[in-house]
C-alpha cells in the first residue's frame, strides 16, 4: 500500500497543487486526498484513472509525472528525461517514427500485443539493449507467459472473453514454489526456467501465428490497405525486410517465408530510442496495459497492484503493532481454530485473500495462530466465521480505543472510516459495524468466489 499515494505526494508538492484543489476537482472530500497523500490508504485503479484525468486539466505535465512515478521507475537513470507516459507525449525522435507506437494497441481485443511488447522491453533491458542478437519467438512467448502468470495464477484476473492466454498457461504443468509467492524472483528467472522446461511448442506456435507480425502492421498501413487477411503476414515479412532502413519498422524477421520465421531482429535506431527513453516507454505501455485489464475486470479491487510482480511485499509492522496492543490488553480466540491467540506469536490473516484485494488494510486483518494462517492459505472462509470475524474486529477497535491515544487511534482506523464508510463513533458500535461489513464484504466474497478463489474453507 502507498505507491499511488507516494507518487501523488511527490507530484502535488513538485507542481504546487494543493490537496484541496485536487479534492474539489475530483468531487471528493479533502480528508480522502489527505489519506492518499500520507499513504494511509491507496486510491482504487478506477480512482487513479480519475486522478490522471483531473491532473491533466490542472497541469498536463503533473499528470504525466504521476503516471510515470506510479507505473514506471521513480528514479530513472537519466534524470533529465521529462517524466511523460501518454502516447501523445512519448519523446520525439529524428531517427524513428514515434507516432506509430500510438497505433500499436488500437482496436485491441485481447492481451497478446500488450504482453508481447512488454516482453520485448523486458528482454531488451535484460540483454542491455544488444541489437546484434535475434530474439526467438520461443523466448518471447516464454516471457509473455511469465508476465501473464502473475495476474492470472495469483490474482485470477480475466484477460478477456476472446483471449486464450489463460488457457495456454493452464495447459502447462507449472509447479511454482515459495520463491515466487514471496516475491523474491522479481526478474522472473525461476518462472521463466520453469516455463522453458515444459513442452510449450504448441503454445509458441499458437501465439506466434499472428502476434509478431500484426504488432508492426501499423508501419505499413498504406501498403496493406485492402489486402486479404490471408496475405497480410507474408506481406509484413516482405515489407519489414525491404523497408528496414527506410520505413524503419521496429524489427524484421529471420526468414523471407512467413512459415519459416522463428525470430526477430531489432532495428538499431529503435533500440537506441528505447534505451534512451526506457522508463517513459515502459510507463506508457504499463498504462495502456492497466486500462485494458481494468476494462476486462471492471468490478475487481486493486487491479493496478495485480499486473506486475512487486519488488517486495509491504511490511505488516504497523498492523502487527496494532493487534499486539489489543492482545496485550484482552484475550482473543482464533475464529477458525478457537485457540487462544498468543500476543507474542501470531500471524495476521487476510480474511479476504490478499491475492484478491491486493492490500493490507486493518479492516481485513485479524490475528490467528501461525499454523492456522498457513492452513487457510488463499481460500475464502465459510460464512459461519463471518459474524465472529466482525466481533473480533469490534474487540480490536474498542480495546485499541481504550489503550491508544485518540490521535494515534484515529490514524490506525482511517482505513475503516474510508472503506467501511463509517465515522469513528459508529466503529465502536457493533450493530453499525456489522451492517457496514455486511454491505462491503459480502459482495466482495461473492465476487471472489466467481473469480475462482476456493469458497467455504473451514479449519479442521
Same domain (yes/no): 250, 115: yes
pLDDT at 186: 65
Where residue 34 sits, what CATH number does that domain have? 1.10.260
Same domain (yes/no): 109, 232: yes
Boundary-marking domain end, from 51, 71, 91: 71
Q: Is 93 a domain residue? A: no
Residues 6+ apart with CB under 8 A from 79: none
| CB 307, CB 286: distance < 8 Å | yes
Same domain (yes/no): 279, 333: no
Mean pLDDT, the chain cut into blocks of 10 residues (460 residues total): 76 87 84 79 71 86 79 40 47 91 87 95 94 94 92 87 85 63 66 89 92 96 94 97 96 97 97 90 86 86 77 78 96 96 94 86 95 91 96 97 92 86 90 94 88 89
Boundary-marking domain end, from 34, 55, 71: 71
Same domain (yes/no): 107, 213: yes
Q: Is 394 a domain residue? A: yes
Same domain (yes/no): 184, 253: yes
Residues 6+ apart with CB under 8 A from 443: none
Q: Is 369 a domain residue? A: yes
pLDDT at 291: 86
Q: Is 439 a domain residue? A: yes
Same domain (yes/no): 153, 246: yes
Output the DSSP codes for 432-445: HHHHHHHHHHHHHH
Same domain (yes/no): 332, 393: yes
Q: How many domains is the chain built from?
A: 3
pLDDT at 414: 85
pLDDT at 181: 46
pLDDT at 223: 95
Same domain (yes/no): 341, 426: yes
The rounded Cα 439 to chain-centroid distance in angstroms is: 26
Q: Is 67 a domain residue? A: yes
Closest by CA position to 380, among listed 301, 446, 456:
456
- Distance between CA 359 and CA 344 in Å, rounded? 24
Q: Domain limits at 48?
A: 3-71
Q: Is 456 a domain residue? A: no
Same domain (yes/no): 122, 224: yes
- Distance between CA 125 and CA 187 in Å, rounded? 11
Same domain (yes/no): 128, 267: yes
Same domain (yes/no): 322, 420: yes
Boundary-marking domain end, from 274, 291, 308: 291
User: What's the residue count for the chain?
Assistant: 460
- Distance between CA 7 and CA 11 in Å, rounded? 6
H-assigned helices in 331-385: 354-357, 370-376
pTM greater than the 0.85 cutoff: no
Q: Is 78 a domain residue? A: no
Output the DSSP codes for 240-302: HHHTTTTT--SEEES-SSGGG--EEEE-HHHHHHHHHTHHHHHHHHHHHHHHHHHHHSTT-TT
Phi, psi of 10 (to 5 degrees): -60, -45
Q: Is 118 exposed, middle or buried (0-12, 13-18, 19+ CB in 10 A)?
A: buried
Same domain (yes/no): 112, 236: yes
Q: Is 199 a domain residue? A: yes
H/E stretch holding 178 reads helix 178-181
Amino acid at each position: 500500500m502507498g505507491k499511488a499515494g507516494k507518487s501523488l505526494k511527490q507530484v502535488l508538492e513538485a507542481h504546487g497543487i494543493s490537496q484541496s484543489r485536487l479534492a474539489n476537482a475530483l468531487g471528493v472530500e479533502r480528508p480522502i486526498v489527505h489519506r492518499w497523500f500520507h499513504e494511509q490508504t491507496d486510491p482504487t485503479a478506477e480512482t487513479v484513472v480519475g486522478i490522471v484525468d483531473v491532473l491533466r486539466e490542472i497541469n498536463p505535465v503533473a499528470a504525466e509525472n504521476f503516471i510515470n512515478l506510479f507505473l514506471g521507475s521513480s528514479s530513472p537513470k537519466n534524470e533529465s528525461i521529462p517524466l511523460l507516459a501518454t502516447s501523445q507525449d512519448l519523446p520525439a525522435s529524428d531517427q524513428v517514427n514515434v507516432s506509430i507506437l500510438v497505433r500499436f494497441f488500437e482496436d485491441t481485443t485481447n492481451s497478446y500485443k500488450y504482453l508481447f511488447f512488454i516482453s520485448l522491453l523486458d528482454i531488451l533491458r535484460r540483454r542491455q539493449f544488444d541489437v546484434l542478437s535475434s530474439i526467438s519467438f520461443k523466448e518471447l512467448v516464454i516471457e509473455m507467459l511469465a508476465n501473464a502468470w502473475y495476474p492470472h495464477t495469483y490474482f485470477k484476473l480475466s484477460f478477456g472473453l476472446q483471449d486464450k492466454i489463460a488457457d495456454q498457461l493452464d495447459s502447462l504443468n507449472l509447479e511454482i514454489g515459495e520463491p515466487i509467492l514471496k516475491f523474491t524472483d522479481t526478474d522472473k528467472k525461476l518462472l521463466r526456467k520453469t516455463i522453458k522446461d515444459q513442452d510449450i511448442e504448441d503454445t509458441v506456435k499458437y501465439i506466434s501465428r499472428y502476434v509478431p507480425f500484426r504488432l508492426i502492421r501499423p508501419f505499413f498501413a498504406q501498403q496493406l490497405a485492402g489486402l486479404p487477411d490471408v496475405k497480410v503476414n507474408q506481406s509484413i515479412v516482405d515489407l519489414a525486410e525491404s523497408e528496414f532502413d527506410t520505413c524503419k519498422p521496429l524489427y524484421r524477421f529471420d526468414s523471407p517465408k512467413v512459415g519459416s520465421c522463428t525470430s526477430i531482429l531489432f532495428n538499431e535506431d529503435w533500440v537506441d530510442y528505447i534505451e534512451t527513453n526506457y522508463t517513459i516507454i515502459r510507463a506508457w505501455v504499463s498504462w495502456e496495459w492497466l486500462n485494458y485489464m481494468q476494462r476486462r475486470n471492471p468490478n475487481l479491487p486493486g487491479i493496478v497492484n495485480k499486473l506486475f510482480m512487486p519488488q517486495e511485499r509491504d511490511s505488516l509492522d504497523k498492523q502487527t503493532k496494532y493487534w499486539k496492543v489489543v492482545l496485550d490488553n484482552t484475550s482473543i480466540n482464533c475464529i477458525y481454530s478457537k485457540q487462544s491467540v498468543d500476543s507474542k506469536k501470531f500471524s495476521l490473516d487476510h480474511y479476504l485473500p490478499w491475492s484478491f484485494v491486493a492490500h493490507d488494510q486493518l479492516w481485513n486483518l485479524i490475528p490467528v495462530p501461525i499454523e492456522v494462517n498457513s492452513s487457510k492459505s488463499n481460500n475464502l472462509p465459510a460464512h459461519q466465521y463471518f459474524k465472529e470475524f466482525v466481533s473480533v474486529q469490534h474487540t480490536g477497535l474498542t480495546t485499541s480505543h481504550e489503550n491508544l491515544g485518540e490521535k494515534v487511534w484515529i490514524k490506525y482506523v482511517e482505513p475503516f472510516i474510508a472503506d467501511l464508510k463509517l465515522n469513528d463513533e459508529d466503529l465502536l458500535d457493533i450493530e453499525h459495524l456489522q451492517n457496514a461489513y455486511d454491505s462491503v464484504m459480502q459482495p466482495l466474497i461473492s465476487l471472489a468466489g466467481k473469480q475462482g478463489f476456493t469458497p467455504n474453507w473451514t479449519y479442521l
